[in-house]
Amino acid sequence: MPTTDFMPTCAGAAQNSFDDVPEGSMDLQLEGKTALVTGGTRGIGRAIAEAFAAEGANVAFCARSAAEIAGTQAALARFGVRVQGTVADMGDADAVTRWVNAAAAEFGGLDAVVSNVSALDIADTPEAWENCLRVDLLGTVNLMKAALPHVERSDSPSLLAISSVSGREVDFASGPYGTVKSALIAYMAGLAFQLAGRGIRANTVSPGNTYHDGGVWQGIEAGNPELFKQSMDLNPTHRMGTPQEIADTVVFISSPVSSRTTGANILVDGGLSRGIQF
């Protein structure tokens, strides 16, 4: 089911050490690293950007709105890290490459890359298929291709894409949205296999229904209460997830602490999906 509300916008595994880490906490070893996040001003993307910053990572992000970018930069400044927001269209391959190269030049490289933006177009129309293919799939492909020369110089390189439970389960969004989300899982698994010998990890995180102010599920709650109730009833936790819950998983999987995780599709859906993963 849809998980984000973003319209098109925008080398070897390290040994883990927990010396001097206070009891009850975990050092994700991200301090001083650089994370690049698409769609970083709202919902899951904003939570991911904040979670990286909270761990001491510098953050480069993109979105469509200059005003939202400015507000997000100001919010992330409280973490005392370097932040760069850029207006970029993830459906424009040249714009994606320019943004990635500029961010890498500004921060001296990239360590973690997160493809989060989605066209979120579920209608079974030619336009929706084109939007999802151009933004979700090709946007991710172009992002990873542009980022690869930079992350391969990192000592903890990570590539990650946000898919969806709709990429694994048949549901009301199984048209262009769900099909492309399935393709993202396959694409990232292929990258993981191809890049493993170079120490570069690639994974997918698939959220279930995620609720936040201004998000798609808030709109469904108001405009289609029957669908909203059906979706709530399907989840054994009897609630939808929060952007922070998704972001915590994304940042952990992207961190050096998760250095053995690659080629995985991590479900964060509160038990919504029923299939057994072998």
Catalogue the active-site residues. 163-164, 177, 181
SS3 (DSSP) at 220 = helix
Q: Which of 23, 92, 36, 106 is nearest to 64 (CA)?
A: 92
Residues pairing with 161 in the sheet: 115, 204
Distance CA(160)–CA(200), nearest Å, equals 11
Q: Is 235 helix (H, G, I), strand (E, B) or coil?
A: coil
Residue among 148, 154, 155, 153 nearest 188 (CA) = 148
CB 151 within 8 A of CB 201: no
Return d(Cα 28, Cα 54) in angstroms, integer: 11
CA dihedral 9, 131, 36, 217 (to 10 degrees): 80
Using an 8 Å Cβ cutoff, are 60 and 34 in contact? yes
Q: For 108, list phi and psi in degrees, rounded to 5.
A: 75, 25
User: Which residues touch 11 (CB under 8 Å, ≥6 apart)?
Assistant: 152, 153, 154, 155, 157, 198, 199, 200
**Conformation bin of residue 43: beta by default, left when phi > 0, alpha when psi is -120 to 50:** left
Question: Measured at the alpha carbon of residue 208, what is the angle toward residues 266 and 172, in degrees to the nearest 5?
Answer: 125
